[in-house]
């Protein structure tokens, strides 16, 4: 319906990267689209912020790993300004004594890896090959809508196709997958490897973004899922100008295709008439109507707060009530007056993704502490120095450091205000073990706890996935059985954010799949 004289076919709620991808896809498919973002700018958790004048960093998410090239091309993001400062960013597991492990990407790197870890090298090669084989099997499922659970023919077709694909990959694929599904990554790594540091790094990657520790069932599959997600993308990439530049390119793509992007436009309510979603009410009481509404915000908020429980089936209500997003990662961004020196780290690796996760025991301790609402004694983290490859982020010769702290409590007794400083101190102390003198280089910094991330950037609960990414909440069951195909049981309403299939991360896939489904459903007219 009209707003400022425009008649819309579709309204997208939330201007995070998934909402932007959905709006751009719909607009390029011929739909007249309005995207309503509550905040002052688009991007959600994919934005760049100024730490202090002259020093900027990706505020929350900082690395693109699974953003598909096909989406980048179709939305012409290069034409709209997207450039990369670094591609195929390496991962290094930092060691206190300087014997850092570069996870090998090439034969030459593998030779160095073998010199460092002669007992683990061949096992690692086999482990990676196995993980890749399973991820290749899973990857296509992430790039398509799951089958309808209530359509026996569709389900039969899907299962037949999966069995056929597994057979093509060799008889053992299905067997390996079934074995991996309930397995804990820690048990698998303990069974295969000797190096505590290597095990720590591999388990860090499998569990990042979730609350489970390395010995939780299902975490081995999370390693496969993450690899499959990475396969959608082009390797780890850093956009020039940080994540904000990536979101700006998406917004430019929406505008170029004729879509309307409105900021400071919070959706207060989804309008429901005669059992159908027919539009939204914005703050200020403005009603905008359209035959299709796509929500890129958390499924629980969408259904319980914006639609209202009275329009939701009782069984679904029970499922949705349990979907409380509770993030367990914090972000710390630092402005530094020089490049920190990590003892023993080759100069060319200062632009790499640096992990501090010394062992499975350290990860487990951090996860257990977070679960009991306590700060980890020795935090585990992922560190980037994006100004190494993107010098305009800081004044000449100076730098910014972007740190994801894995396994922090969602809430602290007495509130986070009393504990923020203690977390920063622990993180800086831990960093100092690897980069001596780091505290003397710090000019300014900001810390974002999970509730801060929600408040400042709109990511529900500060949760990486806008809600659990457990085994029973994946594919056709994400976020809940009746909602697994992007469309909700309420006609006209679709889900398109990280809370729906295939989950969180800067992949754009939830937005893309939902928009495609809406277009196939005749959403452009
Ligand atoms: C600390 C941390 C670090 C991370 N790092 C990475 C990383 O390096 N790489 C990676 O791939 N992923 C990373 N992630 C995950 C990633 O940030 C999220 O999965 C992703 O941002 C989700 O995108 P989205 O568009 O679905 O939702 P969001 O980014 O949450 O966007 C939702 C938008 O909706 C808006 N909104 C909310 N309510 C309303 C309303 N009522 N009306 C209108 N608008 C509304 C919000 O303001 C927000 O802009 C990280 C997550 C965390 C917490």
Q: Tell me, yes or no, whether 223 and 163 share the same domain.
A: yes
The residue nearest atom 48 of ligand 1, judged by CA position, is: 44
Q: Residue 208: CB within 6 Å of ligand 1?
A: no
Pocket flag, ligand 1, residue 497 (CB < 6 Å) = yes
pLDDT tens sequence across 113-160: 999 999 999 999 999 999 999 999 999 999 999 988 888 888 788 778
Q: Is residue 334 in some structural domain? A: no
- Whether 354 is covered by a domain: the verdict is no
**For residues 444 and 401, what is the distance between their CA atoms, to the nearest angstrom?**
11
- The answer to whether residues 223 and 320 belong to one domain is no
Average pLDDT of 467-493? Answer: 91
- Residue 432: inside a domain: no
Ligand 1 pocket, 298 CB below 6 A? no
- CA 459 – ligand 1 centroid, Å: 4
At 199-225, the pLDDT tens digits run: 999 999 999 999 999 999 999 999 999
467 and 320 housed in the same domain = yes
Q: Examine the domain organization and report whether 286 and 202 are in the same domain.
A: no
- The answer, yes or no, to whether any atom of ligand 1 lies below 6 A from the CB of 404, is yes
Better-predicted residue by pLDDT, 505 or 172: 505
Q: Are strands 287-289 and 442-448 parallel, antiparallel or unpaired?
A: unpaired
Q: Are 130 and 223 within one domain?
A: yes
**Is residue 63 a contact partner of residue 89, using CB atoms and an 8 Å limit?**
yes
- Indicate if 259 and 318 belong to the same structural domain: yes
Domain assignment present for residue 295? The answer is yes
Q: Between the CA of residue 299 and those of 22, 118, 170, 342, what are the distances in Å?
A: 16, 48, 38, 42
User: Which residue range(s) make up the domain with 143?
Assistant: 120-232
Are both 222 and 252 inside the same structural domain? no
For ligand 1, whether the C-beta of 467 sits within 6 Å is no
Domain assignment of residue 141, yes or no: yes
> How many folded domains does the chain comprise?
2
Among 168, 197, 232, where does a domain finish?
Answer: 232
Query: Per the domain annotation, does 137 fall within a domain?
Result: yes
38, 125: one domain: no
Q: Give the domain CATH number at 292.
A: 3.50.50.60
Contact (Cβ atoms closer than 8 angstroms) between residue 342 and residue 469: no
Distance 432 CA to ligand 1 centre (A): 30
Residue in 59, 60, 271 to alter for ligand 1 test, most ligand atoms within 8 A of Cβ: 60
Is omega for the bond preceding 166 within 30 degrees of 0, making it cis? no
Q: Is 490 in the pocket of ligand 1 (CB under 6 A)?
A: no
Q: What percent of the chain has pLDDT over 70?
A: 98
* Cβ of residue 474 lying under 6 Å from some atom of ligand 1: no
In angstroms, what CA-CA distances link 486 with 65, 72, 511, 514? Answer: 23, 21, 9, 5
The H or E element containing residue 447 is strand 442-448
Average pLDDT over the chain, rounded to an integer: 95
* 76 within some domain: no
Q: What is residue 53's three-state secondary structure?
A: coil
Domain end residue (candidates: 205, 232, 259): 232
Is pLDDT at 112 greater than 90 in this prediction?
yes
465 with 499, same domain: the answer is yes
| Ligand 1 nearest atom to the CA of residue 66, by list position | 11
pTM above 0.75, yes or no: yes
- Whole-number Å distance between alpha carbons of 350 and 335: 16
Asked whether the beta carbons of 14 and 215 are under 8 A apart, the reply is no
Q: How far is the CA of 78 from the centre of ligand 1 (A)?
A: 22
Ligand 1 neighbour 61 (Cβ under 6 A)? yes
pLDDT tens readout for residues 315-361 = 889 989 989 999 999 999 999 999 999 999 999 999 999 999 999 99
**249, 225: one domain:** no
Check residue 322 and give left, alpha or beta (phi > 0: left; psi -120 to 50: alpha): alpha
């Amino acid at each position: 319906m009209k707003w400022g004289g425009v008649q819309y076919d579709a309204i997208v709620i939330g201007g995070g990267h998934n909402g932007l991808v959905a709006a751009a896809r719909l607009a390029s498919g011929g739909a007249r689209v309005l995207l309503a973002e509550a905040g002052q700018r688009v991007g959600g958790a994919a934005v760049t912020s100024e730490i202090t004048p002259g020093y900027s960093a990706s505020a929350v998410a900082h690395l693109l790993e699974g953003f598909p090239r096909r989406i980048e091309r179709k939305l012409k993001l290069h034409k709209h300004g997207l450039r990369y400062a670094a591609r195929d960013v390496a991962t290094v597991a930092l060691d206190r004594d300087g014997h850092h492990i570069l996870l090998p990407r090439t034969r030459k790197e593998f030779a160095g890896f073998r010199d460092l870890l002669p007992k683990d090298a061949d096992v690692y090669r086999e482990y990676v090959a196995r993980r890749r084989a399973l991820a290749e099997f899973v990857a296509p499922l992430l790039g398509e809508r799951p089958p309808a659970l209530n359509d026996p023919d569709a389900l039969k077709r899907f299962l037949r196709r999966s069995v056929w694909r597994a057979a093509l990959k060799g008889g053992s694929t299905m067997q390996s997958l079934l074995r991996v599904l309930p397995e804990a990554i820690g048990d698998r790594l303990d069974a295969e490897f000797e190096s505590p540091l290597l095990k720590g790094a591999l388990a860090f990657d499998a569990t990042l973004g979730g609350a489970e520790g390395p010995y939780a069932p299902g975490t081995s599959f999370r390693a496969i899922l993450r690899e499959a997600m990475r396969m959608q993308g082009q390797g780890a990439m850093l956009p020039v100008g940080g994540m904000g530049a990536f979101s700006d390119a998406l917004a430019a793509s929406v505008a170029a295709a004729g879509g309307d992007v409105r900021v400071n436009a919070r959706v207060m309510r989804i309008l429901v008439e005669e059992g159908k979603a027919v539009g939204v009410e914005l703050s200020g009481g403005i009603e905008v109507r359209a035959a299709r509404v796509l929500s890129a915000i958390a499924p629980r908020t969408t259904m319980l707060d914006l639609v209202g429980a009275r329009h939701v089936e009782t069984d679904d209500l029970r499922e949705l009530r349990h979907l409380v997003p509770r993030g367990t990662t914090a972000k710390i961004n630092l402005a530094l007056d020089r490049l920190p020196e990590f003892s023993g780290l080759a100069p060319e690796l200062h632009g790499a993704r640096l992990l501090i996760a010394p062992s499975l025991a350290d990860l487990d301790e951090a996860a257990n502490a977070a679960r009991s609402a306590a700060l980890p004694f020795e935090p585990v983290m992922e560190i980037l120095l994006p100004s190494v490859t993107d010098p305009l982020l800081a004044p000449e010769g100076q730098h910014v450091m972007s740190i994801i702290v894995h396994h922090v409590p969602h809430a602290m007794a007495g509130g986070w205000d009393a504990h923020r400083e203690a977390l920063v101190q622990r993180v800086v102390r831990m960093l100092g073990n690897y980069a001596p003198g780091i505290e003397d280089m710090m000019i300014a910094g900001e810390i974002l706890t999970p509730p801060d991330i929600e408040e400042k950037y709109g990511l529900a609960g500060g949760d990486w996935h806008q809600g659990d990414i457990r085994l029973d909440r994946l594919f056709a069951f994400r976020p809940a059985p009746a909602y697994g195909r992007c469309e909700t049981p309420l006609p006209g309403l679709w889900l398109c954010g990280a809370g729906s299939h295939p989950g969180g991360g800067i992949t754009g896939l939830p937005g893309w799949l939902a928009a495609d489904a809406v277009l196939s459903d005749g959403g452009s007219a």
